Amino acid sequence: MTTTSTTKLICPECQHENEPERVYCHSCGAKLDRSAVAVTKEPVKDTRQRVKKMFDPTRAKIRFLFFKTSKMILGAGVLALVIQMILPPDVPEPTHALVLASQTRIDMENAIMRHQPAQLQFSEDQVNAYLASALKTKQTALNKPLLDFKRALAAFREGACIITQERSVFGLSLYASSGYSVSLNEGKIVTANRGGSIGRMPIHPKLMEFAEIMFADVWSALGPDIKLVSKFNGIEFHDKSAVLTLVGAP
């Protein structure tokens, strides 16, 4: 049996190195000068070994097991990711304390109307009751095709506020959360994203900035309430509580 040597064929047009079995350049398509390729005779023993290697059933089995295992690992990874996205985070039960909600609004409005120094502290329960009341009449507008809005709730940590929204598809609740550091500056609320999660799967702050679109309709629905908070001069978050500060008229 004859075979060509491993001499590379240099294209006279583009100087590209081509495999010895090529007739035309792989880069530019020019015809190659094959006179430089020597034809040698391959020993029968080498030929048999090469053919045996090509059709070795063990290698084929190893290759098959490799691809099968890779698919299984990839599938398991995707399944684990989906499960993490579906699992609900630790959230409180829905609140129906409308008295807390109305009192929270009254306290904020009175502080602003009096133009006197004030410091108001609200618990997570008070704020979540307030959110439930504020969004109750806007729930229909917040519904999306196949994705019904259920509620939005807040959790407070030292220096951070975490907003979670619950939506349902075919009765299955799905959760998305986003954390923020918040400050008030000349009548504006300034926020910086601190990351979030979908279900129990954490999302990096940089990626969460692009996922903020999930909360756009909620922020729009809470527009008047956000404007009310922005009339204060300072806001602080502590474990399970938020503090609003009003300096008062100069």
The pLDDT assigned to 42 comes to 60
The pLDDT assigned to 97 comes to 63
148 falls within a domain: yes
- Give, in order, the Cα–Cα distances in Å from 146 to each of 41, 115, 117, 171, 237: 70, 46, 47, 10, 35
Q: Is 152 exposed, middle or buried (CB count within 10 Å of its CB: 0-12, 13-18, 19+)?
A: buried
The pLDDT assigned to 131 comes to 92
**Judgement on whether residues 225 and 102 belong to the same structural domain of the protein:** yes
**Judgement on whether residues 132 and 45 belong to the same structural domain of the protein:** no
**Judgement on whether residues 155 and 181 belong to the same structural domain of the protein:** yes
The pLDDT assigned to 98 comes to 67
110 falls within a domain: yes
Express each pLDDT in 130-161 by its tens digit.
999 899 889 888 998 888 999 999 999 999 99
93 falls within a domain: no
**Judgement on whether residues 72 and 102 belong to the same structural domain of the protein:** no
Q: Which residues of 181-190 are buried (b: 16+ CB within 10 A; e: fewer)?
A: ebebeeeeee
**Judgement on whether residues 173 and 62 belong to the same structural domain of the protein:** no
**Judgement on whether residues 121 and 190 belong to the same structural domain of the protein:** yes
92 falls within a domain: no
Adjacent-strand bridge partners of 203 = 196
79 falls within a domain: yes
143 falls within a domain: yes
Express each pLDDT in 53-88 by its tens digit.
666 677 777 878 888 899 999 999 999 988 888 888
The pLDDT assigned to 195 comes to 94
**Judgement on whether residues 122 and 195 belong to the same structural domain of the protein:** yes
Of the candidates 32, 35, 33, 46, which has an alpha carbon nearest to the alpha carbon of residue 3? 46
The pLDDT assigned to 54 comes to 60
**Judgement on whether residues 14 and 60 belong to the same structural domain of the protein:** no
What are the φ and ψ backbone dihedral angles of 199, each rounded to 5 degrees? 65, -120
Phi/psi region, residue 157 (left: phi>0; alpha: psi -120 to 50; beta: rest), is beta
Residue range of the domain that includes 200: 98-246
Q: Which residues of the chain have pLDDT under 70?
A: 1-7, 36-42, 44, 47-48, 50-56, 95-99, 248-250
**Judgement on whether residues 141 and 231 belong to the same structural domain of the protein:** yes
The pLDDT assigned to 3 comes to 46
Q: What's the structural domain count of the chain?
A: 3
User: How many CB atoms within 10 Å of residue 214?
Assistant: 15
**Judgement on whether residues 117 and 141 belong to the same structural domain of the protein:** yes
228 falls within a domain: yes
**Judgement on whether residues 195 and 208 belong to the same structural domain of the protein:** yes
Q: How many helices (H) and strands (E) does the chain have?
A: 8, 12
164 falls within a domain: yes
For β-strands 39-41 and 17-18, DSSP reports them as unpaired
**Judgement on whether residues 30 and 149 belong to the same structural domain of the protein:** no
